[in-house]
Structure 1
């Protein structure tokens, strides 16, 4: 495997990874408090679980894509995070139509996946 020089812009990828982690911690605490206060067991817990299901996908692809395209990876990672925030805010209203705008954040996975595949391909070829 060739040596890798990490570009200085890669810090953006790491920054969005840390921001996403902080958001997940905030979400975990917020959901727990809200469920306890309202005496509602679910579906809000499912919302948290859904975010946790996608987080490793988004984070791992951002870290890989960031090796070759750090600004794009950071932007896509931030796009996903913003989409999750919008989705959660809509979800907790209890009105399904309020979730629609946040779903657009899931589209950020596509460029991360394609750039990750390209990065891996160029590293191993």
Structure 2
């Protein structure tokens, strides 16, 4: 290795089956390892096989799930701002005298309560029906934003604006049931 630490010695097998020592940069050492047979026989290397097995357009499903994460972050930031604005200290979950803070908090809490179900339906249904699941998931995400905007008015009745999330959940539920039936060999290909 050189004094600056940029180069290191590495043994490599040549095409004719002999082993030789050569100097390679640390960056090349890492990329050589990632392309080696040793790496692909590890658990981390097998991940690429899983990704390759996913259906076309499953990336849309993943991005839909990520969008839901950003919506949750946005709602969490709104709760943190409302805590400062309405002087509701941690760990108090709801205010006994401030309805507006409670509406903002409840929006986030309700979204968190439904989030595991949403992700499960999205990711499992997307294994067989990625486009349908991604579209239904996007509709669900939009409904959560509309739900929040309605609830943020301070009038809990306006949260009903986002009730079209049920349509999205039913669509994702149908996709997930379809995957289960196909996996049990009840539903034809």
TM-score by length of structure 2 reads 0.60
How far apart in 1 are the matches of 2:155 and 2:77?
A: 22
For 2:62 and 2:176, locate their aligned partners in 1 and report how far apart those are by CA, in whole Å. 15
Q: Matched residues in 1 for 2:142 and 2:126: separation? A: 18
Give how far 1:113 is off: 0.8
2:122 aligned with 1:62: yes
Aligned pair partner of 1:94 in 125, 137, 154: 154
The aligned counterpart of 2:109 is 49
Tell me, yes or no, if structure 1 residue 85 matches structure 2 residue 145. Answer: yes
Q: How does 1:1-125 map onto structure 2 within 5 Å?
A: 5-39=53-87, 41=95, 42-43=101-102, 44-125=104-185
TM-score, normalised on structure 1?
0.88
How far apart, in 2, do the equivalents of 1:82 and 1:97 lie? Answer: 18
Q: Whose helix proportion is higher, 1 or 2?
A: 1
How far off its partner does 1:123 sit? 1.3
Match of 2:16 in 1: none
Task: Give secondary structure in 1 for the equivalent of 2:169.
Answer: helix
Task: Kindly indicate whether structure 1 or structure 2 has the higher relative contact order, using CA contacts under 8 Å at least 6 residues apart.
Answer: 1
Where structure 2 has 5 or more consecutive residues not aligned to the other structure, the ranges are: 1-49, 89-94, 96-100
Residue 8 of structure 1 aligns to a residue whose secondary structure is coil
Per mean C-alpha deviation after superposition, the further-off stretch among 19-28 and 91-100 is: 91-100
